[in-house]
Amino acid sequence: MSNSASTDASIRRRALVPKDACPMAMAAEILGDRWTLLILREAFYGVQRYDDMRADLGAPRSTLTDRLAKLVEMGLLERRPYQEPGERAREAYGLSAAGRDLAVTFMALTQWGEAHALKGPAPVDVIDRKTGRPLRVALVDEKGRPAKIENAVLAPKAR
């Protein structure tokens, strides 16, 4: 994707949007630390219990506790009470509606990781629940027609 609406080879000296008004920058502020992304990954895989997340991630208790609290505060995770037989009541952490809205972002990261970070095929696929066919994240126009990434440019919105 080009960062310029022009076709010349000039180098842009400033971003089109100030950082504090940029949705991409704001999302990076929320999601940009390693533990936050990994915790959300756990939630996307359906892991909701604190101890299970900690075992999978190897995160320090204080870090996991802090990030979970922040993700709940930001509205990406929701606390849900649960109790196993003979155990005390505890809280699980599930994706909220806003957290589930990150699904396409995480699927795109998965595709990128498969193409550029893995040394072989991915151990998971995103598939259509009804058909079983693989799904891909793609760039499409407002009518759902595929668009080429090299034709995509960032442009200020008309106000």
Answer yes or no: is 157 within a domain. Answer: no
**Same domain, yes or no, for 141 and 114?**
yes
Separation of alpha carbons 85 and 40, rounded Å:
27
Domain count of the fold of the chain: 2
**Same domain as 106, residue 91:** no
Q: pLDDT at position 60, please?
A: 97
Whether residues 86 and 30 fall in one domain: yes
Tokens of 30: 């929320």
The confidence score (pLDDT) of residue 119 equals: 82
Based on the domain organization, do 94 and 110 belong to the same domain? Answer: no
Rounded to whole angstroms, the Cα distance separating 155 from 93 reads: 38
Indicate if 93 and 107 belong to the same structural domain: no
Quick one: which of 112, 120, 122, 105 has its CA closest to 40?
105
Helices (H), the chain: 23-31, 34-44, 50-57, 61-73, 97-100, 103-116
**124 and 138 housed in the same domain:** yes
- In terms of Cα–Cα distance, which of 28, 31, 20, 22 is closest to 71? 31
The residue range of the domain holding 106 is: 102-149
pLDDT digits 0-9 by tens, 44-84: 999 999 999 999 999 999 999 999 999 999 999 999 999 99
pLDDT at 14: 87
Same domain, 76 and 108: no
Cβ-proximal residues to 94 (8 Å cutoff; 6+ apart), any chain: 43, 48, 77, 78, 80
Do both 47 and 120 map to the same domain? no
pLDDT of residue 9: 61
Q: What residues of the chain score a pLDDT lower than 70?
A: 1-9
Q: Are residues 94 and 106 in the same domain?
A: no
Pick the last residue of a domain from 58, 83, 98. 98
Same domain, 62 and 121: no
Pair 80, 141 in one domain: no
Q: What is the pLDDT of residue 102?
A: 97
* 21 and 85 in a common domain: yes
